[in-house]
Structure 1
Amino acid sequence: MSVTPLAPASTAQSTAAFRGRIGRDARSGHYAVPRRYRLHLSPACPDGLRIAVVHSLLGLDDACPVTFLDAIPDCPDGGHTALRPLYEASAHRYKGAAVGPVLSDDWSGRIVSTHAPDITRDLARFDGDRPALYPCGAESETEAVERLCAQGIERAAQEAGTAGTDPDARAAALDTLLETLASLERWLTGREYLIRDQITAADVELWVTLVQLDTVHRHHLDASAVQRIAAHPALWAYARRLAAHPAFGAHLDLDGIARRHHAHCRGLEAAGSAVQILDWAAHTARTR
């Protein structure tokens, strides 16, 4: 298996990228055999939360078991002690951080993939009567939602809440964020889901991004900005509806998200921290 170093992350973690894929038959090498693979993830991490929700929506508890990791890695380099044997078995003399999420192969004791988007898509390859989270013909729409979430919400929110940077740049980032939310508000008015009349991977992507926006990014924005973000009733009603769905709400680890944020974040807390957009705990109570 090839191992390709990733560019250094903002947390100064160093790890290796494993990009194995699960195929649909034995010719693929890694094929979708029930109980062959295992997920290792923390729902407090956005990538881990996406994978956990997709895993539950697909009903893969028996076909692909999950080992849950703590919200805060226990190694100084940002890795998990529990994952180190997998990394060392998969890469000769591996010295980097043993980070999640990981899809491992129980047959070989090695890592298949650490690339969260690939893992999420490959879970849909297990046979069975499962929902079509990546419906045929919706590929471009799903990818457009992923880009919108990554650039128009996630990156814009980070830049808008970065203290010590140019005020004009922060204001422009906030404008980008609000414009993105406004476009989603218009699109979701009168709709239950994003791109189909059922839940798809696009809904998982947007929901996790909104969770991050309210539970992480708002802590670095002023109260006025958070109030403007909250002023999108259709969008946040959509987030609330999905939180009440067992496959979504059951994995929402609010305490873990808070601990992870405080352990990694070095930014300054702003007044928006006191302006909660959704009472996530109340809306997910029925899923417990």
Structure 2
Amino acid sequence: MSVTPPAVHRFTEPTPVFRGRIKDDPRSGHWVVPRRYRLHVSTACPQGLRVAVTHSLLGVGDTCPLIKLPAVPDCADGGHAALRPLYEAGAHHYPGPALAPVLADDWSGRIVSNHAPDILRDLDRCFGDGRAPLYPCGAEADIEAVERLCTHDIDEAAQRAGQADSGPAERAAALRLLLCALDELERRLDGQDFLTGDQLTAADVTAWATLVQLDTVHRHHLDADAVHRIADHPALWAHARRLTTRPSFGTHLDLDGIARRHRAACRGLEAAGAAVRILDWAAHARGARDSRRA
């Protein structure tokens, strides 16, 4: 199998190169079998955090085990040494970094997928085991709209707004895009508990992981005024706070790991926004861990 490795940027997620799907039909190659598949994630990475939270919400630890990788990749190319055999098995002499998250097939020792959105949907559809679905029928368009907002209009815009080598006009435009996206999420929470209605869905998981990244990583490269404007979305940040107190969310929040990953990969300049904390994530996460032990 010939695979072209993705271009890896220090701040953006790599382009996935394995896009297998889990199906119900045994003729498909990858069909639903308990404990056949295994997830490998780093919760210091936003995509890995989404997968870990989804895995907990669905309660699928017995049917699809989850392995947590180190916060900071241990290979010089930004990959994880533990994943290298899986990448080599899937693409002989694979030249790129062995990146997480990965859904692996224990039967073949190969990767099914390293595309987080597909992994999340397959977990929900194939292994949910009667739990309330995170991708309920009829909510697909709303969930995808929130995912686009979080990926393109929040995460990528925050990166551009904080880049020291961008011009003032470019940074201002990126900040406007970011604030407009936050405004849209704020409007979605007007009069309802969750982003797509009265039920927690994958949209809430995605937005929560995005806000974690925004407050713990991106704000370090923004000025204080920008961070105060970002914080001026009370319903949205209150929603993030409530979710963090849930064990399925807060117990996966590795703030030290996120900080170490950021320091290891980031070459940007720290700005005044670094001193402006929006949420006390640690306190809410401790509450979630105490709740799980009780």
Give the alignment's TM-score, normalised by structure 2.
0.93
Q: Does 1:35 align with 2:49?
A: no
1:195-221: CA deviation from partner (whole Å, max 9, x where unpaired) = 131110111111111111100100000
Residue 140 of structure 1 corresponds to which residue in structure 2?
Answer: 141
Rate the CA distance shift 1:127–1:242 in 2: closer, same or farther, 3 A.
closer
CA shift in 2, pair 1:94/1:194, >3 Å: same
Alignment correspondent of 1:236: 237
**Cα distance per residue 1:190-248 (max 9 Å; x no partner):** 22101131110111111111111100100000011101111111110000011111111
Q: Deviations over 1:170-193 (max 9, x none)?
A: 111111111221222222132210
Cα separation, 2, equivalents of 1:15 and 1:154: 16
What residue in structure 2 maps to residue 260 of structure 1?
261
1:97 Cα deviation after fit:
1.4
Partner of 1:186: 187
Provide the C-alpha distance between the structure 2 equivalents of 1:16 and 1:172, rounded to a whole number of angstroms.
28
What are structure 1's unaligned runs of at least 5 residues? none
Whether 1:90 and 2:90 are equivalent positions in the alignment is: yes
What's 2:8 paired with?
9
Contact 1:246 1:287 in 2 (8 A): yes
> SS at 2:127's partner residue?
coil
Equivalent residue pairs, number: 287
* Change in 2 beyond 3 A, CA 1:3/1:104: farther
Quick check: 230-239 or 175-184, which moved more?
Answer: 175-184
Q: Distance in 2 between matches of 1:37 and 1:274?
A: 42
Q: Which residue of 2 aligns with 1:58?
A: 58
Deviation, 1:14, is 8.5
List per-residue Cα deviations over 1:54-81 (Å, max 9, x = no partner): 1011001100001110011111111111
- Counterpart amino acid of residue 169 in structure 1: E
Using the TM superposition, name which of 19-28 and 46-55 deviates more.
19-28
Deviation at 1:95, TM superposition (A): 2.9
**Deviation of the 1:94 alpha carbon:** 2.2
Matching residue of 1:44: 44
Counterpart check, 1:160 vs 2:161:
yes
Of 149-158 and 268-277, the range deviating more from structure 2: 149-158
Letter of the 2:86 counterpart: L
1:15-55 deviation digits (Å, cap 9, x = unpaired): 87111110123232211211000001100001100100110
Q: Distance in 2 between matches of 1:235 and 1:15?
A: 29
SS in 2 for 1:118: helix
SS of equivalent residue, structure 1 residue 214: helix
Aligned counterparts of 1:54 and 1:191: Cα–Cα separation in 2: 21
SS in 2 for 1:17: coil
* Whole-Å separation in 2 of the counterparts to 1:55 and 1:130: 12
Aligned equivalents of 1:82, 1:19: Cα separation in 2: 20
Distance 2:10 2:150 in 1: 21
* SS of structure 2 residue aligned to 1:64: coil
Shift of 1:84: 1.2
Please report how far the alpha carbon of residue 3 of structure 1 lies from its aligned counterpart in structure 2 after TM superposition.
5.1
Which ranges in structure 2 are unaligned for 5 or more consecutive residues? 290-294
CA distance in structure 2 between the aligned counterparts of 1:139 and 1:95, rounded to whole angstroms: 36
Deviation readout 1:102-131 (Å, 9 max, x if unpaired): 111111111111111111111111252222
Contact (CA 8 Å) 1:243, 1:283: kept in 2 or not? yes
The answer (yes or no) to whether the contact 1:5–1:16 under 8 Å persists in 2 is no
Inter-partner Cα distance in structure 1 for 2:158 and 2:59 = 33
Letter in 2 for 1:99: L
Q: State the TM-score, normalized to the length of structure 1.
A: 0.95
| Cα RMSD for the two superposed structures | 1.7
Q: What letter matches 2:199 in structure 1? A: Q
Percent identity among equivalent residues? 65
Change (3 A) 1:253 1:3: farther
Give the partner amino acid of 1:140: A
Contact 1:163–1:267 (CA under 8 A) maintained in structure 2? yes
* Distance in 2 of aligned mates of 1:142 and 1:287: 25
Q: 1:176 to 1:11 in 2, by over 3 A?
A: closer
